[in-house]
Chain A
Amino acid sequence: MPIHDQGYRRYGGNKVRTGTGWMVIARAGIRTMVSKKAFLGLMLISWFPFFVRAVQFYAASNLANIPQASLLAPSADTFRQFLEQQQTFVFFVTVYVGAGLIANDRRANALQIYLSKPLTRAEYVLGKLAILMTFLALVTWLPAIVLLIVQIAFAGNFTFFKNNAFLFPAITLFAFIEVALASSTMLALSSLSKSSRYVAILYAAVIFFTQAVYGVLYAVTRSTSFSWLSFSANLSQIGDVIFRQPQKYDTPWPVSLLMIAALVALSGVILERRVRGVEVVA
């Protein structure tokens, strides 16, 4: 008898309403990443600057009798700098987690499996986006917020927090913009290829090439008004505005914000075109 087990039976339970598929995708993606030792190592390393800052805050609060301790005193700029330092890890986590998110599904023809389930294309993209955004939030927003709590704990009072009440929303807003920009760009690039390696190279090229173009224009003109061409400079400009710091570039910040919004919108358009259950070559 060729059938190994005739035990197929009809399902009598209740099915979950539609609209929750993105959570299933996000949960599975997060579980898959967390099971990788190399990735856990990367996440651990990404928290190293947090510990350095925590020691700094401890020294500033508890070694007040030493004159040099005042140099270590935290300010809004400290948090701004911390998030800027984390950009290196944002890059590596984005490449590690994001490059294969859609590219691997395209390689394995998984899109037709996903989209044959009660799942919209938007839910699929949202699920994939949630995976990357979760990990990026873990290397940007979470350590910065914990750092703020650590500062309060070491200082033993809320003085710094009250004097810089804008820091919590500033950290949240900047981290969100940074994470959303990196995630949407990477996801769009991931949908363009079936090779995650190629996607990783493409993402690095986008980051470095835009910075290089700006660098060349700066070298020629000695003006920072072309900073809107650079992926990183736009983010930096917005960061300075959010953290109420002097702006580094001549480009008006609304232009930088517009560039970021345009990049996110372009990523949305690419995803809309590329995430389909069937590839039609007319």
Chain B
Amino acid sequence: MAEGDPVVTLEGVTVTYGTNRALRDVTSSFAAGAVGLLGPNGAGKSTMIKSLLGFIVPERGRLRVLGLDVAEAPLEIRARVGYMPESDSHIPGMNAVSFVAYCGELAGLPRVDAMQRAHEVLFYVGLGEARYRNVETYSTGMKQRIKLAQALVHDPDLLFLDEPTNGMDPKGRDEMLELVRDLAHNKGVNLILCSHLLPDVEYTCDSVVVMDKGAIAASGPIDALKQPRGRVYELRVKTADDLDRFVERLRAAGLECKQADEDVMRVFVPGAGGAQQLFALAAADRVQVRHLRPSVPTLEDVFAHAVGEE
């Protein structure tokens, strides 16, 4: 795999569970670095990850990870990737250091190296003091960390993180995100962060792939996606009439409206119309504009736009 090549590519991938089509002819690529895989529940994110790991055989299409075909070289791929599953997973009856070392051995590390790296990785994820405790006695946050440790122990070139902050308290969540960010930006580990939490992705990743209903809705570097093809405004109005009517009028004029609070909304004005267009529409509808501020587009805007949310 040459430098700059995508770490993961999908070509026309379709996955079907019975009659339910989880992935619909998906063609996409994931650049090196940290890429967020975003989408609402049921969008097909986990199915995509499991297909890339070879757990699910797609009905059609081709998947490549680190330049290797998933159908032809699944074991070589798994030796080079780490997977942090979404659900609680551990090997029963083991303490943390035995569990992580065992995972290292399964991934091909010699026994002595696996044990040494298990200690290192457990310290890195913040479980150094609890490494001799049985994993079954761990709290939810600790279980998330140990899942990250087992995915890291063999030093993968690519990490799949499936909802890594699930069930964590705010402090634990921040720490987990710091770890993920550190791995991607300072330790040179490529990673795909699968999440439905936009702030997590925005904080840790450079690029994003947005999925909806089994298809790719948007993809690219976050900064580029956030570049407006128009302008976003934070708008508060007072109207004698029904506010919903005004919102409808804005939408009819081709503006995208997302209500943030009772009378505050985020309005996307495409093209060069800008504030003038908003004022004109408000005046025509006899609506007072009480507050109008240009807003910085967030990943939430990109996401909402991609999946067609209001």
Contacts and interface: CB of A to CB of B under 8 A. Distances in A.
Contacts of B183: 8
A194 B295 CA distance: 52
A99 to B, nearest CB: 13
A22 B90 CA distance: 18
A109 B85 contact: yes
A117 B123 CA distance: 22
A280 interface: yes
A156 to B, nearest CB: 45
Interface stretch (A42-50, A100-108, A265-273): A100-108
Contacts of B91: 105, 108, 110, 113
A3 B178 contact: yes
Contacts of A278: 50, 55-56
Contacts of B87: 109, 112
A3 B83 CA distance: 21
Given A4-B126, A8-B152, A104 B93 contact: yes
B106 A114 contact: yes
A10 B152 contact: no
B12 interface: no
A3 B108 contact: no
B113 A11 contact: yes
Interface string A142-165: 000000000000000000000000
Interface in B154-207: 154-155, 171, 174-175, 178-179, 182-183, 186-188
A216 to B, nearest CB: 39
A17 to B, nearest CB: 7
Contacts of A37: none
B123 A7 contact: yes
B136 to A, nearest CB: 8
Interface string B95-109: 000000011011111
Contacts of A21: 106
A110 B83 CA distance: 12
B89 A113 contact: yes
B110 interface: yes
A254 interface: no
B78 A116 contact: yes
Nearest to A110: B91
A204 interface: no
Contacts of A20: 108
Contact of A8 (B20, B53, B76, B124): B124
Nearest to B78: A118
Please indicate which of the listed interface residues B94, B106, B136 has the most CB atoms of chain A within 10 Å of its own CB: B106
Contacts of B50: 277-278
A32 B93 contact: yes
B219 interface: no
B20 A6 contact: no
A120 B113 contact: no
A125 to B, nearest CB: 14
Interface in B17-66: 17-20, 50, 53-56
A186 to B, nearest CB: 17
Nearest to A18: B75
Interface string A34-61: 0000000000000000000000000000
Interface of B: 17-20, 50, 53-56, 75-76, 78-79, 81-83, 85, 87-94, 102-103, 105-110, 113, 117, 120-121, 123-126, 128, 136, 150-152, 154-155, 171, 174-175, 178-179, 182-183, 186-188
Given A3-B179, A24-B106, 19 more contacts: A2-B178, A4-B125, A5-B128, A8-B121, A8-B183, A10-B188, A11-B155, A16-B109, A107-B92, A108-B91, A108-B136, A109-B85, A113-B85, A113-B91, A116-B53, A120-B75, A278-B50, A281-B17, A282-B20
